[in-house]
Chains A and B, each alone.
Chain A
């Protein structure tokens, strides 16, 4: 991959922002100029770091990084689930440019599918093992994505955002009020993933969150590899062309509806997987797990990280989920900061959208699109 560093133009105001930008460009340039083996070694080291992270023997030396007010390995699991969700939503929002405001709804479909088919409190009493239900959960979320997308993706504009918003609320309200989905009481004794140590103790237990984190981490790596391949193929080119100019894409012979649906369904499937993992870890699923706020957080994470860039989505999802937990247990002037976590979150979002609308690690193309659109709204530029 080659990148071109644009020389600074006069319109860019000088200052900290500009210097930061140049600094980042220099780093990205060095990264791309580095020999292949250096990049691989750095990547392997980074992945090894994240596998080692939940071990107390390791993270106790990391200073302020481990959270103080909550179990750090537990937090890492939550963070990893958010990262997986951000990677999935990035396909929909970042690549195909479709605004999905109810992405967490698909997560709920995945989690409830597992709950209904495995838990003894379910009316169905099927009691299937977790591993068997995971593919069913993924397939069902994909189907729900297709069902939702088929009528709405034919339309342009904001319809999709509204419909997805409604969908997530429908799922939540159904979970709260339907007898079949058990409302607040929820489903308990959802089985864990299979696997035993040599001494017969289960690998995936109740107390230790590490195995679940490792499982999600591994799945993130696999999903990222798959998504990367997809985006470098004809499918990816079609998505990007739709995002940049849907009419033009169609005029070039891209079956736009088909590819939008495909993006929507793949994103949904990843959320379904995340939901199934969550249910398998948590052991318990009830209607309180699926607030609308979660959809907004993930969307914000993708945009914050750099929509259209897989690394950006990972960083965004990780950072947002981690920061929210990091506030827990910190007191300042007698107030618990955790209470104000969404205030900080909001401020960060506003500041980011003013100074860096393309996100922390933007997509090269996406940045150019933003510039292009600025020209349309700012008169005289």
Chain B
């Protein structure tokens, strides 16, 4: 297993946000984490990337416990997150933002190669390479966040709500790109409210409710699960 989360709890002050969550992500998979607002999806992401310390449990990456490791050191190990919403650097240009993604790397040739790859994946970013990140549209910012995370050449890419606030056309597009990134060899853990798309694209998925995992299975299984259908897909 590339990533193993074992009985992890997390507290915000005295409020417990995660109650003993366990999940795994295997090499080459797309794993989706779905759930309603406040279910703890983004919190789980923060715990994995190291922005928030966990209270109990263990997070293992490539078999090693990283739960005490600082966030920036986790990036060096190959774990990179595209943060939710406006996590881009607003004053830096598109290229500077992408360059920040490669902050931990020193191999110039490899960085240049990955930059080309990202600009090929997101032609819109290539058009706006000199523009300040803050002036991009919501969809473009989202693409920039995903592209920037790819620049660290992660083994595991964490995507927090990549479809948030996007037009249906763009949602389709961004999920196509996610599948493409995965087919090129990057493992992906995806947090989504858009359960329909996420389940259709994911190999496996977990359903999170008030800080607990209540269901898991393959994407197709959950897509046809009656209770999931009712709660997240809006069909009875």
Task: Enumerate chain A interface residues (CB-CB to B < 8 A).
Answer: 2, 4, 234, 237-238, 240-241, 244-245, 247-256, 363-369, 371-372, 375
Q: Which of A237, A253, A255, A363 has the most CB of B within 10 A?
A: A253
Kindly identify, within residues 79 to 136 of chain B, every residue whose CB is under 8 Å from any CB belonging to chain A. Answer: 80-81, 83, 86-92, 96, 99-101, 103-104, 130-135
The 4 closest A-B pairs by CB, nearest first: A365-B91, A253-B75, A372-B134, A372-B90
User: Is the Cβ of B92 less than 8 Å from the Cβ of A251?
Assistant: no
B106: nearest chain-A partner, CB-CB: A234
User: Is the Cβ of B83 less than 8 Å from the Cβ of A247?
Assistant: yes
Q: How far is the CA of A371 from the CA of B49 in the complex (A)?
A: 29
Q: Count A/B pairs, Cβ under 8 Å.
A: 91
Does any Cβ of A come within 8 Å of B71's Cβ?
A: yes
User: Is the Cβ of A248 less than 8 Å from the Cβ of B83?
Assistant: yes
User: Is the Cβ of B152 less than 8 Å from the Cβ of A244?
Assistant: no
Which residues of chain B have C-beta atoms less than 8 A from A366's C-beta? 91
User: Is the Cβ of B134 less than 8 Å from the Cβ of A254?
Assistant: no
> What is the distance, in angstroms, from B27's C-beta to the closest C-beta of chain A?
22
Does any Cβ of A come within 8 Å of B51's Cβ?
A: yes
B99: nearest chain-A partner, CB-CB: A237
> What is the distance, in angstroms, from B88's C-beta to the closest C-beta of chain A?
7
Please tell me which one of the listed residues B72, B101, B135, B148 contacts residue A250 in the complex, with CB atoms under 8 A apart: B72
User: Is the Cβ of A256 less than 8 Å from the Cβ of B72?
Assistant: yes
Please tell me which one of the listed residues B86, B91, B152 contacts residue A252 in the complex, with CB atoms under 8 A apart: B152
Question: How many interface residues does chain B have, given as a range?
Answer: 20 to 34
Which residues of chain A have C-beta atoms less than 8 A from B87's C-beta? 245, 247-248, 251
> What is the distance, in angstroms, from A235's C-beta to the closest C-beta of chain B?
12
Which residues of chain B have C-beta atoms less than 8 A from A368's C-beta? 90-91, 132-135
User: Is the Cβ of A365 less than 8 Å from the Cβ of B101?
Assistant: no
User: Is the Cβ of A244 less than 8 Å from the Cβ of B91?
Assistant: yes
Which residues of chain A have C-beta atoms less than 8 A from B224's C-beta? none
Q: How far is the CA of A68 from the CA of B92 in the complex (A)?
A: 45
Q: Which of A245, A251, A366 has the most CB of B within 10 A?
A: A251
A256: nearest chain-B partner, CB-CB: B72
User: Is the Cβ of A251 less than 8 Å from the Cβ of B91?
Assistant: no
Q: A4-B130, A251-B51, A256-B72 are in contact. Are A237 and B100 (CB under 8 A)?
A: yes
> Besides A247-B51, A251-B80, A253-B73, 7 other CB < 8 A contacts?
A237-B99, A245-B87, A251-B51, A251-B71, A253-B80, A253-B103, A371-B134
Q: How far is the CA of A176 from the CA of B69 in the complex (A)?
A: 45
Which residues of chain A have C-beta atoms less than 8 A from B215's C-beta? none
User: Is the Cβ of A248 less than 8 Å from the Cβ of B88?
Assistant: yes
